[in-house]
Amino acid sequence: MGWMPEPPTPAPPPPLPDRIDPASLSRLDAARLDAEAARLGGVERATRSAMSPYERHLREIRTRLEEIATERRRRERTERHARRMSVREQAASGEMPGLDDALGGDPPPLPDATQLSQVRAHLRTGGEVAFGYPSRPGVVSFTDGRQMRSATTWGEARQLYADGWEPGSPGNPGVRGVRVHLIGTRVERVVDIGDVVVAAG
């Protein structure tokens, strides 16, 4: 950290005139009331004048803080874009297999004991997601068209997939939907199994 100068000692505010008791105001004539209001108005103007340099100081501080916040947002957006591009490249090269290929692949990209809540998954567009609802993460539902079962480990999901079950729910034939939510949010949706890729290892 660089050397920080000591903040200047603020000047004392202009002195206030003696206060007139509210009960005594009724006994003052109009000229005296006007004079009292004028005195207080003068002190108010002097106070605002004394505050003016500090207000400019505060505006400059707020502006510089916003400039720093802008740079942080720029870096975060650049990093997010780079991560998404990396995911897309890995998905295209096969380094990150699609969920359907990963479930049916041999050898499997992940140990069977791996909890689905620990699997790093992404949409093919690059956004990082987790399986299940935000309030109930790490669950993938499978159906045989009539029944529905839930998998919470990679091994359970692979076994159901090997037995012919598809991600989804009964009553939606041909729809291979996996419920996911965006990491760090409560945004959730159902996406096709082919639109999800997983990181091996």
pLDDT tens, per residue, the chain with 201 residues: 455 566 666 677 778 777 877 877 888 888 888 888 888 888 888 888 888 888 888 888 888 888 887 788 777 767 765 665 665 665 555 567 888 888 887 788 888 999 999 988 888 877 889 999 988 889 999 888 888 899 999 999 999 988 888 888 877 655 678 899 988 888 898 988 888 888 876
Last residue of a domain, one of 92, 123, 144: 92
State whether 46 and 139 are in the same domain.
no
Does residue 191 lie in a domain region? yes
State whether 110 and 29 are in the same domain.
no
Q: What are phi and psi of 167, to 5 degrees?
A: -60, 135
The pLDDT, as a whole number, for residue 181 is 92
On the 0-12 / 13-18 / 19+ scale of CB atoms within 10 A, 84 is: middle
**C-alpha distances in Å from residue 173, one per residue of 49, 88, 144, 169, 180:** 75, 29, 9, 8, 19
Q: Tell me the one-letter amino acid at 77.
A: R
Q: Tell me the one-letter amino acid at 170.
A: P
The pLDDT, as a whole number, for residue 47 is 83
Does residue 10 lie in a domain region? no
Does residue 129 lie in a domain region? yes
State whether 161 and 88 are in the same domain.
no
Last residue of a domain, one of 92, 109, 141: 92
The pLDDT, as a whole number, for residue 16 is 79
Which run of H or of E encompasses 121?
strand 121-123
State whether 84 and 39 are in the same domain.
yes
The pLDDT, as a whole number, for residue 1 is 44
Q: What are phi and psi of 176, to 5 degrees?
A: -95, 75
Structural domain containing residue 117 = 95-198
State whether 110 and 46 are in the same domain.
no
Contact 187, 149 (CB under 8 A): no
Which run of H or of E encompasses 143?
strand 140-143
Does residue 9 lie in a domain region? no
The pLDDT, as a whole number, for residue 128 is 86
State whether 33 and 80 are in the same domain.
yes
The pLDDT, as a whole number, for residue 166 is 85
d(CA 107, CA 150): 23
Does residue 4 lie in a domain region? no
State whether 108 and 149 are in the same domain.
yes
State whether 69 and 118 are in the same domain.
no
The partner residues of 188 in beta bridges, in order of sequence, read: 181
The pLDDT, as a whole number, for residue 165 is 87
- Would the pTM of this model clear 0.75, i.e. be above it? no
State whether 157 and 74 are in the same domain.
no
Does residue 88 lie in a domain region? yes
The pLDDT, as a whole number, for residue 97 is 80
State whether 118 and 73 are in the same domain.
no
State whether 136 and 156 are in the same domain.
yes
DSSP annotation string for 60-96: HHHHHHHHHHHHHHHHHHHHHHHHHHHHHHHHHHTSS
Last residue of a domain, one of 34, 68, 92: 92
In the chain, the number of structural domains is 2
State whether 79 and 119 are in the same domain.
no
